[in-house]
Structure 1
Amino acid sequence: MSETSAIVQTLKKLLRTANVTYADVAAALDLSESSVKRLFSDQDFSLKRLDQVCQLMNMEISDLMRQLDEGKQHIESLSLDQEQLLVSDLKLLVVASCAMNHWSFSEITTRYTISETELIQCLAKLDKLQMIELLPKNKIKLLIAPHFNWIKNGPIQRYFESQVQTDFLNSSFTNKGELRLFTTGMLSRNSNATLLKRMERLAQEFRQFHNEDSSLPLEKRFGTSMVVAIRPWELTAFESLRREQDKRVF
């Protein structure tokens, strides 16, 4: 379905919900009812007329577009094969990451050694995966749900976890914008559970900031990663001195 068709279908749905008839629309636009029906059939609305129809429902055009976006089926995850496709093609993975971070076509080609032809091919693949919609003039519309997740222990998670071990943690974390905290002690199961919930809330805050900052120019945003981890654990060196192995189950 084209974007224009989707807008008109959403408008018709909202009119029905608001109990606004074609006759009501005709009166507001100073047209005959048959002319209004033709407008909907031909999907030929000027912005002025679209705004007038929205006003009948006490809405702005921006409200209509928000309803349109909410009505679309945004994917929440990929299949195993789809994730494998991404990790098997570095340029495709880079383009997917850029799209998920709201980069434009020109921003991708300017910062990475990816030609326009290669980028269009990658975007076409992402469009087929329904991660994005490739619009005219190479505009990129993200189609993933706010709570989109990679498969647990799937190809993408395994790929990035390997990079965390060999690349991300290979730092002193002393530069501006960096921080590494490590603390150890002995906790009860209840205390551990409380910390787990707080860590989940922290991750939610990170995603919220990511969404809020997506409207800022790329020059004001920086690729940022955060690793938060906790587990019952003892240094192997310490464990080697135990008289007996700790057989307790957490």
Structure 2
Amino acid sequence: MSQIDLMLSCVKKALKQRGISYAQVAVHLQLTEASVKRLFSQKQFTMQRLEQVCQLMQLELADLLQLMSEQQQQVQQLSYEQEEEITRDLTLLLVAVSVLNRWSMQDILDWYQLSEHECIRKLAQLDRLKLIELLPNNKIRLRVSANFSWREGGPIQRFFQQKIAQEFFQARFNSKAECLLVLNGMLSAAGNDEFQRKLRRLASEFNELNRQEASLPLAQRNGVSIVLAMRDWRFGLFKPLLKKS
């Protein structure tokens, strides 16, 4: 992420935390809301306007730089070796997935057959892997960025593909909490690229919603798994019917 991208990301995050809308920013800058959105999307902020937005949030520029520094220290992705270490220990993987869903240690103990001692050991291991920071009284602080993801084709992704894919699709997908869409069509390379961008944007929206609802009691949140996939499927099932070249 470039410095300007990181700075604007911090500004957006600070605005959201303070409940300040683009419309309010527009009034403060004496611009239209559309102009403010364009400033963010086209990254055209001058230092003067950036300082004005900071004033609206009651922040100094130095505070914004501190936020940038903290965000840069957040983990965007684990190394291959770190993911491999997690997949070798099913209990560690369980705890890792739980904390990424913003569960507390007590939540984990309430839901799973883990002793407090074992849970603390796994949390300490995740602290060493820099996925979390284990605070006094066993409080958990995530050290991952908003766009954290498992490595593409890495150990975690392969684990879920091998161990869970078959079980995942055994569901009937007929309850109100389930949905299965199977789409078939033909796209150009450009159309394929565009749709993949939309899939990534949808995944980003899911992650943001997950973050926003993290403060709700665990009893009000249900585990949700989503599979977004797209691939060249011109052959597959019909390959035996293809004409021989």
TM-score normalised by L of structure 1:
0.68
| CA 1:68–1:201: 2 relative to 1, 3 Å | closer
Range that drifts further, 142-151 or 69-78? 69-78
CA distance in 2, matches of 1:237, 1:110: 45
CA distance in 2, matches of 1:236, 1:135: 50
| CA 1:163–1:209: 2 relative to 1, 3 Å | farther
CA distance in 2, matches of 1:129, 1:69: 22
Match of 1:239?
239
What's the CA shift for 1:236? 3.8
Range that drifts further, 157-166 or 125-134? 157-166
Match of 1:214?
214
Q: Is residue 156 of structure 1 aligned with residue 156 of structure 2?
A: yes
Letter in 1 for 2:128: K
3-state secondary structure, aligned to 1:178: coil
CA distance in 2, matches of 1:69, 1:242: 55
Letter in 2 for 1:213: E
Match of 2:177?
177
Alignment length (residue pairs): 187
CA distance in 2, matches of 1:185, 1:130: 43
Q: Deviations over 1:71-106 (max 9, x none)?
A: 261112212221111111111111111111111111
Match of 2:142?
142
State percent identity of aligned pairs. Answer: 40
Q: Is residue 71 of structure 1 aligned with residue 41 of structure 2?
A: no
After superposition, residues 181-220 of structure 1 pair within 5 angstroms as 181-220=181-220
What's the CA shift for 1:209? 0.9
3-state secondary structure, aligned to 1:226: coil
3-state secondary structure, aligned to 1:179: coil
Mind listing any 5+ residue stretches in structure 2 that lack a counterpart?
1-56
What's the CA shift for 1:69? 8.8
Letter in 2 for 1:239: K
3-state secondary structure, aligned to 1:193: helix
Match of 1:85?
85
CA distance in 2, matches of 1:88, 1:201: 31
CA distance in 2, matches of 1:148, 1:236: 32
CA distance in 2, matches of 1:206, 1:144: 16
3-state secondary structure, aligned to 1:213: helix
Letter in 2 for 1:156: I
Letter in 2 for 1:167: E
What's the CA shift for 1:188? 2.4
Letter in 2 for 1:132: I
Q: Is residue 223 of structure 1 aligned with residue 223 of structure 2?
A: yes
3-state secondary structure, aligned to 1:206: helix
CA distance in 1, matches of 2:82, 2:117: 22
Q: Which has the larger radius of gyration?
A: 1
CA distance in 2, matches of 1:133, 1:238: 51
3-state secondary structure, aligned to 1:240: helix
CA distance in 1, matches of 2:187, 2:58: 56
CA RMSD of aligned residues (A): 2.6
Q: Is residue 114 of structure 1 aligned with residue 114 of structure 2?
A: yes
CA distance in 2, matches of 1:120, 1:219: 23
3-state secondary structure, aligned to 1:133: strand
Q: Deviations over 1:10-59 (max 9, x none)?
A: xxxxxxxxxxxxxxxxxxxxxxxxxxxxxxxxxxxxxxxxxxxxxxx956
TM-score normalised by L of structure 2:
0.69
Match of 1:18?
none
CA distance in 1, matches of 2:157, 2:118: 25
Q: Deviations over 1:159-214 (max 9, x none)?
A: 11123422111111111210111122333223222222211111111111111111
3-state secondary structure, aligned to 2:215: coil
Mind listing any 5+ residue stretches in structure 1 that lack a counterpart?
1-56, 246-250
What's the CA shift for 1:237? 4.2
